[in-house]
Structure 1
Amino acid sequence: MDPASGLTRRVGVGWAIGELGIATYIGITMSYLLFYLTQALGISPVWAGLALLIPRLWDALIDPLVGAISDRTRSRMGRRRPYLLVGGLTFGVMFAFLFQAPADASEGVKIAYVIALYLLTSTAFTFYDVPYSSMAAEMTTDYRVRTRLTGFKMVAARIGILVAVIAAPLLFNSQETLVHGFAVMGMVAGGYMVLSGLWAFFATRDAPQIVRPAEPFDLRAEYRALRENRPFLILWTTFLFQNFAIGASATTLIYLVIFVMKIDAALVGAMVATSAVGAMVATPFWVRVAQYGKQKAYAAGIVGAATLSLLMLFMPAGLPAALFVALFLIGLVDGGTQLCPNAMVPDTVEYDEERTGQRREGAIFGTWLLCRKLGMAMGAFIASLFLSAFGFVAGADAAAQGENALLGIRLSYTLVPCVLWVCAFFVLRAYPLTEARFEELKRNISAARAARETA
């Protein structure tokens, strides 16, 4: 895969398998967690949204700190792999307990339980996710190999989401009540996450590492380096708008299918999975397109996402086949809007190293994951506000929802994401890091390193 660094296909694929648990976690929490709170536990949408927002913001805010800690970790297993072991074991277990909320308790007790368990789960997840993602920048410095490596990761992500969104409804609808069904789902999914994390841990035992001496931790210096990394800031802001859009639409999709489109709840899993299938099929195509320019490919994907979001505003109810087609097209575009930015962010590590002489993979990827989590958290919260503001009735079936509630669901899934995608497009236009500029950065870094060694 990259003979110069010693990165083999076996290691690359094994590392990518670690994304299965991450994708399962994200897929279930974004697609079904609000639904669990409102429909299984009977919590009102606005309180449910707040209960999920607090842990998600905490999860996002600690990402850069965890990244900086992993940058400075020294062990016989390397900088990142100890966290794959500990985080991979714990976040799946905590996830299982998240869905054991006392359904007969008062609303306040249920909210407190969800906040506490989601905080624990999010913290454990961060200690796995940040070091794991940071490995993409330290296993190879090849501009195009990073795209292929990210392609493996994105295919695994789509498989993980596909399995999660199909299996989750089958599991939470398999028992007499949603409460018991979600409890079963949590245990099965939690075990799957643990297995994925352990697989990545053992598979990367021989993974190459680019290690530079780390300076003592200085929060102001870390913040200043990130603030002055212009390519990273532009990419980060673009990705933030993207995840606002994804958070709102992903959270609302199950409500759109059941309440607006009037489609049988048994088809929910297949509906949600359709986009994942489209993205998985399209990822190899986007890998090839990105070889001719990651920024241009990313921009094309954003334009496609904005267009499809707007078209979904006019999707008539009661047409399952049409919705399947639309979601598949959305998935084709999503393959590009996920691959490209995740393949671009490792390149900003070299931009920072040329300026500062340090490698901050952990800090950069921690802040990158903060962007994803913050954006999706706020997008999901916007969705919960729309449900509440437009009069959605928690725990009630489709017949009990008024026209305003249905309009709020539709707008949350279509118009809100469309506006956010447009904002992402205009921010991305300022991104300056081309392949030629990246190769120049590598030459400058090598020259500076040689000068230090001969001094």
Structure 2
Amino acid sequence: MHDQAKEARLPQKIAVGWAIGEIGVAAYIGITMSYMLYYLTEAQGISPALAGMALLIPRLWDAAIDPFVGAVSDRTPGRMGRRRPYLLFGGATFGLLFAFIFLVPVDLAPMTKVALLVGLYIVTSTAFTFYDVAYSSMAAEMTADYRARTLLVGYKMMAARAGIVLAVIAAPWFFTSGDTLADGFASMGIAAGAVMILSGLWAFFATAQAPQITRPIQHFSLKLEYQALKENRPFLILWLVFLCQNIAVGATATLQIYLVIFVMKVDQALVGTMVAISAISAMLATPLWVRLARRHGKRRIYFISMGMAVVLAIPVLFLPAGWPVALFTLFLLAGIADAATQLCPNAMVPDTVEYDEARSGERREGAIFGTWLLARKLGMALGAFAISLVLTLFGFQAGVDPAGQSESALTGIRLAYTLVPGSIWLVAMILLRFYTLDEDTFNSLRGKMAAAKG
């Protein structure tokens, strides 16, 4: 199908089926951001600084190839369209490769172990990127309606929360039930990998009749791609906001397990439940945020939710250890805010595709979404790496139980959990004020494009 097919109402069956493909993405991101550093320091016995570097290299690689993968998908010919071949290829491989990361023997020499983990993570993240970029790009192809995109992304975000809940609840159950922590992580990797494969293949088959663009862009020029993105001012502003957001999210997600276990002294077996509460509240809050965003505008709701994230980070500075109910409540409220901070930008970025098309005459969803996902991955990588440095700076010791950690290390965890993400959220809020592609502007653009074609 071509551009005119996008004007038809998207069947709910297709929208929900496509959204299920996000479960595997969310499980992958949830586990790698929440538990990967913990896996390296506690199961593999790698120092925080070295573990942080071992994670940073693959994540930077993953982020760097996103725009290239997007440009490739824009130029992919075939009767399945430009995106679905990568759902099949990526969906069938990245979950399988993911499992191997957690099968690395613990008795290898430290540098051999690190090199093997880095290599496996790079290969896995490459397969994941081919899937994720193509999958995300479909949001702009399946519907061109400003408000319908909010609903479509709402389905996707609810599926994402389901994936995160599944990951963060099940993962600790797996890695605490093995004979050793490493054995538990191995079982977790296999189970999570299977979920990722099933999720990706479900999205592939569910979108067989989805509106799509089968005619690829014919020419390729890195200079022209870069120039087009550079001239897409709404996208650039939104990209910077999203980058800041993901630095904050990456820092919070990486540090959450350390906060719960080492600072708040919560039993390790309850970690999954504690962490999952924010994902559950986010999933339940998403329909409300969808309604509010469609009524009051995506940008306004995005701004409000970021302000909520800043406010909710502050109490952790003062919360005494042994107050799990209070921490539980904070996580619940943070999840409500997080639902909107994920929904709104991901519903806004498809609109920048039309802005680019109005200027260039080309539809480059892949390049735009590839660069968009670069912000997510780069931000999370930088946030997680910053946390590994903070842990080292404050004297956190890998492999030492909570009672053996110094007061300096515990204070560092509190400060990093609140001040680092809170300050970055404030920067994101300032940048968002410069974003001007609202519904009226978007509809005006589409009207001019339709008149030019007619």
What amino acid sits opposite 1:329 in the alignment? L
Q: How much has 1:110 moved relative to structure 2?
A: 1.1
| 8 Å Cα contact 1:133/1:365 also seen in 2 | yes
1:277 equivalent in structure 2: 280
Corresponding position: 1:166 with 2:169: yes
Could you tell me which of 178, 181, 184 is aligned with 1:178? 181
Deviation at 1:5, TM superposition (A): 2.0
Q: Secondary structure at the match of 1:18?
A: helix
Given the alignment, which residue of 399, 412, 416 partners 2:403? 399
User: In the TM superposition, what is the alpha-carbon distance from 1:4 to its structure 2 partner?
Assistant: 3.9
Using the TM superposition, give the Cα deviation of residue 215 of structure 1 relative to its aligned residue in structure 2, in angstroms: 3.6
Paired position in structure 2 for 1:117: 120
2:30 corresponding residue in structure 1: 27
State how far apart, in whole Å, the 1-side matches of 2:383 and 2:49 are. Answer: 13
- Partner secondary structure for residue 41 of structure 2: helix
2:377 equivalent to 1:377: no
* Equivalent residues in 2 for 1:57-96, closer than 5 Å: 57-96=60-99
Residue 139 (str. 1) matches residue 136 (str. 2): no
Matched, 1:129 2:132: yes
Moved more, 300-309 or 441-450: 441-450
Instruction: Tell me by how many angstroms 1:329 deviates.
Output: 0.2
Q: 2:76 and 2:308 mapped to 1: Cα distance?
A: 41
Cα distance in 2 for residues equivalent to 1:440 and 1:205 = 32
Structure 1: 5+ residue stretches without partners: 451-455
What's 1:442 paired with? Answer: 446
Question: Which position in structure 1 is the counterpart of 2:152?
Answer: 149
Q: Tell me by how many angstroms 1:76 deviates.
A: 1.4
Match of 1:256 in 2: 259
On the 8 A contact 1:6/1:208 being kept in 2, the answer is: no
Q: How far apart, in 2, do the equivalents of 1:449 and 1:436 lie?
A: 20
- Output the CA distance in 1 between the equivalents of 2:18 and 2:110: 41
TM-score between the two structures when normalised by the length of structure 2: 0.98
CA distance in 2, matches of 1:146, 1:376: 25
1:212 CA displacement: 5.5
Q: Distance in 2 between matches of 1:30 and 1:3?
A: 35
CA distance in 2, matches of 1:3, 1:441: 16
After superposing the two structures, state which structure 1 stretch, 208-217 or 243-252, moved more. 208-217
Shift of the alpha carbon at 1:6?
4.8
Aligned-partner residue type, residue 91 of structure 1: F
Counterpart position of 2:223: 220
Structure 2 equivalent of residue 453 of structure 1: none
CA distance in 1, matches of 2:329, 2:98: 32
What is the percentage of aligned positions where both structures have the same residue?
63
Which amino acid is 1:128 matched to?
Y
User: Is 2:398 aligned against 1:411?
Assistant: no
Structure 2 Cα separation of the partners of residues 84 and 412 of structure 1: 37
Contact 2:75 / 2:82 at 8 angstroms: preserved in 1? yes
* Aligned counterparts of 1:3 and 1:109: Cα–Cα separation in 2: 51
Q: Distance in 1 between matches of 2:275 and 2:194?
A: 22
What TM-score does the superposition give when structure 1 sets the normalisation length?
Answer: 0.97
Q: Work out whether residues 244 and 378 of structure 1, in 8 Å CA contact, stay in contact via their aligned partners in 2.
A: yes
Contact 1:212-1:359 at 8 Å conserved across structures: no
What residue number does 1:363 align with? 367
Q: How far off is 1:449 after superposition?
A: 2.1
SS in 2 for 1:173: helix
Which stretches in structure 2 are left out of the alignment for 5+ residues? Answer: none
> Is the aligned partner of 1:297 residue 2:272?
no
Alpha-carbon offset, residue 413 of structure 1: 1.1
CA distance in 1, matches of 2:452, 2:360: 11
Q: Which runs of 4+ in 1 moved over 3 A?
A: 210-213
Shift of 1:3: 8.9
Are 2:322 and 1:322 aligned? no
Letter in 2 for 1:393: Q
The structure 1 residue matched to 2:335, chosen from 331, 338, 363, is 331
Letter in 1 for 2:195: Y
Deviation readout 1:119-142 (Å, 9 max, x if unpaired): 001000000000000000000100
Whether 2:412 is the aligned partner of 1:426: answer no
For residues 283-302 of structure 1, give each alpha carbon's deviation from its aligned partner in whole angstroms, at most 9, with x where no partner exists.
01110111121100000000
> For residues 44-90 of structure 1, what are the alpha-carbon distances to aligned partners after superposition, in whole Å with 9 as ceiling and x for unaligned?
00000000000000000100000000001011111100000000011
Displacement of 1:393:
0.4
CA distance in 2, matches of 1:4, 1:103: 54
